[in-house]
Amino acid sequence: MKSIFFIVILMFFFSFSCKKNENTVIHIPNKDTLWLKEKTVVFISPSLKKIEKLKKEQGEDFYTIADDANYYYANATEHMDSLHEKYTNQNETVILAYKDGTKTKVIPKQKSDWYSILYKDRNFKVVDLINFTEEYSLFLNHSTK
């Protein structure tokens, strides 16, 4: 009697443990990648780790450089706000990528620590914050033609 009961229990467990799994593809988005899909402006600045490195390398000059960069960044974001356009802020560790047909293209990192990326219709332009307003207008006019 015990052996029959034991066999029934084993059959019960095996029937549930041997289910066939469907092959499913799980897409886990990379948190270090920003996929550009529509008209986008991305402002890039150094990460905290990079800022500490810059402070050591440049000493007191770092504060002047950072102050200038923040001034030009404020002008650029003020311009975007006046146009009621969206933008995003990222640090240099983020990978910027977009799809061009079936290909994935990655926007290369720049040597500058503060800059912006203009993106529209699978075209991008790296823009220094000093010339942002003019370059933004030129890029929009050029990419819409």
Average pLDDT over residues 51-66: 95
Place of tokens 């990648």: 33
For the cut 80, the answer to whether the pLDDT of residue 13 exceeds it is no
Confidence (pLDDT) at 24: 46
Nearest to 136 by CA among 8, 42, 64: 42
Q: What is the band of 91 on the pLDDT scale with cuts at 50, 70, 90?
A: very high
Q: What is the band of 55 on the pLDDT scale with cuts at 50, 70, 90?
A: very high
Average pLDDT over residues 105-133: 95
Q: What is the band of 103 on the pLDDT scale with cuts at 50, 70, 90?
A: very high
Tens of pLDDT along 70-84? 999 999 999 999 999
- The rounded distance, in Å, linking the Cα atoms of 140 and 125 is 11
Confidence (pLDDT) at 1: 64
- The rounded distance, in Å, linking the Cα atoms of 123 and 38 is 10
Tens of pLDDT along 16-25? 555 554 544 4
- The rounded distance, in Å, linking the Cα atoms of 120 and 124 is 6
Q: pTM of the entire structure?
A: 0.74
For the cut 90, the answer to whether the pLDDT of residue 47 exceeds it is yes
Higher-pLDDT residue of 11, 81: 81
Confidence (pLDDT) at 88: 95
The alpha carbon of residue 25 and the mean position of all alpha carbons in its chain are separated, in whole angstroms, by 23
Which token pair is 50?
A: 């990079």
